[in-house]
């Protein structure tokens, strides 16, 4: 950003501007606090683009900043922690005055590095100053066990020392790490518990005392920096993962969460997913598709086969929706259709976007990620479909299938072909009318709604789909026969088991727990 003409360009001008009150000189924490209060008074949005935290996370975050705390966001993956931290730069002043060329962006009025101190002494009020904008005052580091003190804080540089004639330990012989380079700004460390305890000690020292020992040399660095962190709550609270003195210096712990309602989740996905695509044919995403996509994440977060400790990121819904639309684009292109409308069945084609985003428990591992994801899709479809049809009589259509009606469909079946096939099922078109969904008047839109009904009835196990993709009824006599088969095989299995089970006294079966 080019400095405007009114910005002071020398130390002397800066001093006069501060004396006249046209510029404020303050610490980063005071700066955040003052700007935040001003924004609250003006009723401006605090964290634009962050959805669903207005009554929970945001007030706590505001209090942490007003209290001038270093703070940590505790939450599972995909809960917008990084986005919140990055948004803090919007609370910084547009620009601050710094000494040109200084690696740690020294304040012209109180430089902490030796080189700048000498420069101010030599040049006085004529010393030029430069302006640094808010976006560059944010430094972020992902903590990993191999991050060293040298990476984070710095190292003494023997060659620099030899050349300059300064002693090792003089800040002028230092090679600065990330934290000093974030001086006069915000330093964010993600996944704090992954940082080695030795490095945590260094971090604590610099926070508390403004100095740190590097290779046995004391280095004084009274930095002006806001430290913000993020972590998985279980890692953070695990004993021994964070050294106690550092934990004590973190003023506030703010817990993030997943969207609480389907509507909030839809808003987030709508904002984040790449759905507004350059396309020769229009793309239209029905509401029920968005609802099912979110419901998958909600179901996954409740499923005992999915590891709750690591959570199910909102990115699951985002990438799933993107893949669902892509599959619809693929179908529309193959069938040369004039309109792209995703179908619920496209979700099965989006399994690759789902399987990588769920960490499985042992039971889930046994079933396999794809089977678990498939099950999640099915229960999400059943849940949403039930919501749409709870006051609708589905029996006539189910009867239509039970009396021999079938529909052959795959994810590349054209809209016309699917509509022709479903129209042949008694009462099917009536049901579409009665569902009260304002389907797009296009064939692709009506086909998508027809597919929603087929997938919904399958998910609720009212009708069934064969391996080959044929959708057919489950007539009562066949259902009964299936039940009989199951009962007989269960009986056989029990008899076989009986022979192997250890027998207790008097031949009674012994149960082990």
The sheet carrying 406-408 orders its strands as 406-408, 470-473, 463-465
Task: Indicate the DSSP class of residue 167.
Answer: P
Q: How far apart are CA 398 and CA 393, in angstroms?
A: 10
SS3 state at 501: coil
How many residues bind Zn ion (CB under 5 A)? The answer is 5
Compare residues 102 and 246 and give the one whose CB is closer to Zn ion: 102
Task: Indicate the DSSP class of residue 134.
Answer: G
Residue from 31, 106, 291, 295 in contact with Zn ion (CB under 5 A): 106
Stretch that binds Zn ion, among 106-114, 192-200, 322-330, 371-379 (CB under 5 A): 106-114
Compare residues 14 and 437 and give the one whose CB is closer to Zn ion: 14
What do you get for the CA distance between the two ends of the chain, in Å? Answer: 70
Please, what is the minimum distance in Å from the beta carbon of residue 116 to Zn ion?
3
Please, what is the minimum distance in Å from the beta carbon of residue 90 to Zn ion?
27
The sheet carrying 185-190 orders its strands as 138-142, 185-190, 225-231, 71-74, 252-255
Compare residues 102 and 354 and give the one whose CB is closer to Zn ion: 102
Please, what is the minimum distance in Å from the beta carbon of residue 103 to Zn ion?
7
Compare residues 113 and 332 and give the one whose CB is closer to Zn ion: 113
Stretch that binds Zn ion, among 68-76, 105-113, 212-220, 340-348 (CB under 5 A): 105-113
Compare residues 180 and 364 and give the one whose CB is closer to Zn ion: 180
Compare residues 155 and 291 and give the one whose CB is closer to Zn ion: 155
Q: What angle do CA 204, 208, 211 make, to 5 degrees?
A: 85
Please, what is the minimum distance in Å from the beta carbon of residue 4 to Zn ion?
25
Please, what is the minimum distance in Å from the beta carbon of residue 110 to Zn ion?
10
Q: Does 116 bind Zn ion (CB under 5 A)?
A: yes
Q: Does 384 bind Zn ion (CB under 5 A)?
A: no
> What does the chain come to in residues?
513
Q: Does 113 bind Zn ion (CB under 5 A)?
A: yes
Please, what is the minimum distance in Å from the beta carbon of residue 121 to Zn ion?
13
Stretch that binds Zn ion, among 104-112, 153-161, 288-296, 313-321 (CB under 5 A): 104-112
Nearest Cα neighbor of 343 from 262, 456, 441, 232 is 456
Compare residues 85 and 116 and give the one whose CB is closer to Zn ion: 116
Compare residues 59 and 101 and give the one whose CB is closer to Zn ion: 101
Q: Does 380 bind Zn ion (CB under 5 A)?
A: no
Please, what is the minimum distance in Å from the beta carbon of residue 98 to Zn ion?
9
Compare residues 69 and 184 and give the one whose CB is closer to Zn ion: 184
- Start-end of H helices in 106-196: 114-123, 149-152, 158-164, 178-181
Strands 211-214 and 71-74, how do they pair?
A: unpaired
Residue from 91, 102, 219, 265 in contact with Zn ion (CB under 5 A): 102
CB 378 within 8 A of CB 385: no
Compare residues 116 and 321 and give the one whose CB is closer to Zn ion: 116
Please, what is the minimum distance in Å from the beta carbon of residue 305 to Zn ion?
55
- Start-end of H helices in 303-442: 315-334, 346-349, 351-355, 362-367, 369-389, 395-402, 415-423, 428-434
Q: Does 96 bind Zn ion (CB under 5 A)?
A: no
Please, what is the minimum distance in Å from the beta carbon of residue 229 to Zn ion?
26
Please, what is the minimum distance in Å from the beta carbon of residue 127 to Zn ion?
12
% helix / strand / coil in the chain, to the nearest 5? 50, 15, 35
Nearest Cα neighbor of 206 from 60, 65, 104 is 104
Please, what is the minimum distance in Å from the beta carbon of residue 102 to Zn ion?
3
Compare residues 223 and 435 and give the one whose CB is closer to Zn ion: 223
Nearest Cα neighbor of 397 from 416, 424, 415, 419 is 424
Stretch that binds Zn ion, among 94-102, 235-243, 425-433, 452-460 (CB under 5 A): 94-102
Q: How far apart are CA 510 and CA 513, in angstroms?
A: 10
Please, what is the minimum distance in Å from the beta carbon of residue 224 to Zn ion?
12
Compare residues 118 and 489 and give the one whose CB is closer to Zn ion: 118
Compare residues 106 and 155 and give the one whose CB is closer to Zn ion: 106
Stretch that binds Zn ion, among 28-36, 98-106, 206-214, 406-414 (CB under 5 A): 98-106
Please, what is the minimum distance in Å from the beta carbon of residue 162 to Zn ion?
21
For 215: left if phi > 0, alpha if psi spans -120 to 50, otherwise beta; the answer is left
Q: Does 76 bind Zn ion (CB under 5 A)?
A: no
CA 309 to chain centre: 15
Q: How far apart are CA 417 and CA 503, in angstroms?
A: 61
What phi, psi does 426 have (nearest 5°)? -55, 135
Contacts to Zn ion from residues 211-230, by CB under 5 A: none
CB 292 within 8 A of CB 387: no
Q: Does 320 bind Zn ion (CB under 5 A)?
A: no
Question: Which residues share a beta bridge with 170?
Answer: 168
Structure tokens belonging to residue 245: 């003195």
Q: How far apart are CA 391 and CA 90, in angstroms?
A: 48
Stretch that binds Zn ion, among 69-77, 112-120, 203-211, 400-408 (CB under 5 A): 112-120
The binding site for Zn ion (CB under 5 A) comprises: 102, 106, 111, 113, 116
């Amino acid at each position: 950003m080019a400095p405007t003409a009114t910005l002071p360009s020398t130390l002397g001008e800066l001093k006069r501007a501060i004396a006249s009150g046209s510029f404020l000189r303050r610490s980063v924490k005071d700066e955040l606090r003052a700007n935040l209060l001003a924004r609250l008074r003006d009723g401006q949005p605090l964290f634009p683009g962050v959805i669903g935290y207005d009554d929970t996370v945001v007030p706590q975050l505001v209090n942490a900043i007003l209290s001038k705390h270093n703070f940590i966001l505790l939450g599972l993956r995909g809960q917008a922690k990084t986005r919140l931290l990055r948004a803090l730069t919007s609370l910084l002043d547009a620009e601050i005055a710094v000494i040109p060329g200084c690696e740690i962006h020294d304040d012209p009025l109180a430089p902490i590095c030796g080189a700048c101190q000498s420069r101010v002494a030599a040049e006085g009020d004529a010393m030029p100053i430069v302006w640094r904008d808010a976006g560059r005052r944010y430094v972020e580091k992902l903590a990993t066990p191999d991050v060293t003190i040298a990476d984070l804080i710095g190292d003494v540089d023997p060659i620099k020392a030899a050349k300059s004639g300064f002693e090792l330990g003089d800040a002028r012989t230092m090679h600065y790490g990330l934290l000093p380079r974030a001086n006069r700004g915000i330093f964010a460390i993600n996944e704090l518990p992954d940082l080695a305890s030795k490095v945590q000690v260094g971090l604590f020292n610099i926070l508390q005392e403004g100095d740190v020992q590097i290779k046995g040399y004391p280095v004084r660095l009274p930095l002006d920096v806001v430290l913000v962190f993020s972590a998985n709550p279980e890692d953070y609270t695990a004993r021994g993962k964070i050294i106690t003195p550092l934990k004590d210096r973190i003023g506030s712990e703010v817990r993030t969460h997943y969207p609480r309602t389907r509507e909030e989740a839809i808003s987030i996905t709508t904002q984040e997913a790449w759905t507004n695509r350059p396309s020769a044919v229009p793309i239209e995403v029905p509401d029920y598709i968005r609802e099912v996509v979110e419901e998958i994440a909600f179901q996954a977060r409740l499923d005992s086969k999915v590891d709750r400790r690591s959570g199910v990121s909102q990115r699951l819904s985002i990438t799933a929706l993107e893949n669902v639309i892509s599959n619809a684009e693929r179908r529309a292109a193959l069938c040369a259709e004039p309109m792209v409308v995703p179908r619920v069945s496209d979700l099965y084609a989006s399994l690759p976007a789902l399987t990588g985003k769920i960490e499985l428990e042992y039971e889930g591992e046994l079933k396999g990620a794809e089977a678990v994801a498939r099950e999640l899709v099915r229960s999400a479809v059943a849940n949403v479909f039930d919501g749409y049809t709870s006051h609708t009589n589905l029996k006539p259509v189910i009867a239509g299938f039970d009396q021999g009606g079938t529909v052959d469909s795959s994810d590349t079946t054209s809209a016309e072909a699917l509509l022709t096939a479903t129209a042949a099922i008694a009462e099917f078109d009536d049901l579409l009318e009665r569902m009260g969904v304002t389907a797009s008047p296009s064939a692709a839109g009506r086909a998508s709604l027809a597919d929603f009904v087929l997938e919904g009835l399958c998910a609720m196990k009212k009708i069934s789909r064969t391996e080959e993709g044929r959708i057919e009824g489950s007539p009562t006599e066949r259902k009964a026969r299936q039940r009989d088969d199951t009962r007989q095989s269960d009986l056989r299995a029990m008899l076989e088991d009986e022979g192997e089970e250890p027998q207790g006294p008097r031949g009674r079966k012994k149960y082990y727990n």
